[in-house]
Structure 1
């Protein structure tokens, strides 16, 4: 399984992943935010990005004011820089967006280890599903994303999951791996 905290894997990936690796290294963003345990999540690490994909970087943020100040110091002059902090379901969240190298970048922080944040958990289960299923499945996801679908709803639709797609994927992530593999095998068999 991939070490998602180290972006070196991007430099060995697709041309788009290599481009993202070069940009992130140029910005030095992962090092500058190292105290916040940043992890690139979403479609680029999975190799299923489509035109218009953004770079989502999650961070463990316990002091949103300090985090915003630090990010503003390094990236505040970037195009389309915005910052919003609010509380959702009792959890403080900070979202900072800007453009760099032609890519929309979103930094998302909350006071939770990055490995326990939903964005990370979604990526982990999506990676495992992609590893288990064939290229036709991957292409279905890419096609849906090209047609405007968000990643999690696209996965849920193709997998036949019911209810809230974000929650449904989190439920799959909690399955024992043998049960997940059996589920993926049943999806593959129904083709």
Structure 2
């Protein structure tokens, strides 16, 4: 079963519909490696309600765990297996459009959409060496410092600016073409 079939058969997007669930991460980006999980981000203004919905439907799944921190800035996290796939659900009090996981996914998606294939190949090579997604993008793009913050900085750039950035990297001797 592929990950999309696992999402459908688990009904996770329907069950969590009230929480604006969105699939993010390496699977929809086409950058998965063995062991990649199905990442879902949700808006949980009341984390207890999300926790109850997840508990009610997935508590009997293999590998089920549910973490709910009391600190407001910490997300609720649930993990479980479905259809041979590991799932990880994040519930944050912020709307999904404001969550770092969504913002990282969106900038990565935009960059890959502007790419001619070289960025994707270079990031995939990094991922195959065990590098996490955001650090892999940052390495290939030459972003120094915190890779997570560096990618967030790119989120404010227009597609034209991102395309120009990619063009410069592709034409440099240390950029995407040789990463």
Is the 1:55–1:103 contact (alpha carbons within 8 Å) kept by the matching residues of 2? yes
Give 1:173's match in structure 2, choosing from 146, 155, 158.
155
**C-alpha separation in 2, matches of 1:142 and 1:102:** 23
RMSD between superposed Cα atoms in Å: 1.5
Return closer, same or farther for 1:22/1:36 CA change in 2, 3 Å cut-off.
same
Residues 127-138 of structure 1 aligned to structure 2 (within 5 Å): 127-138=109-120
Query: What TM-score, normalized to structure 2?
Result: 0.91
Is the 2:110–2:159 contact (alpha carbons within 8 Å) kept by the matching residues of 1? no
**C-alpha separation in 2, matches of 1:176 and 1:141:** 21
Give 2:29's match in structure 1, choosing from 23, 27, 46.
46
Structure 2 unaligned spans of 5+: none
Q: CA deviation at 1:41?
A: 0.2
Query: What TM-score, normalized to structure 1?
Result: 0.85
Give 2:90's match in structure 1, choosing from 108, 114, 133.
108
Q: CA deviation at 1:177?
A: 2.7
Count of residue pairs brought into register by the alignment = 173
Q: CA deviation at 1:45?
A: 0.9
Say yes or no: does 1:84 pair with 2:67. Answer: yes
Structure 1 unaligned spans of 5+: 1-17
* Secondary structure at 2:36 match in 1: coil
**C-alpha separation in 1, matches of 2:113 and 2:158:** 16
**C-alpha separation in 2, matches of 1:126 and 1:92:** 23
Is the 2:135–2:148 contact (alpha carbons within 8 Å) kept by the matching residues of 1? yes
**C-alpha separation in 2, matches of 1:115 and 1:44:** 19
Q: What are the superposed Cα offsets for residues 62-90 of structure 1, whole Å, 9 maximum, x if unpaired?
A: 112221111010001000100111256x5
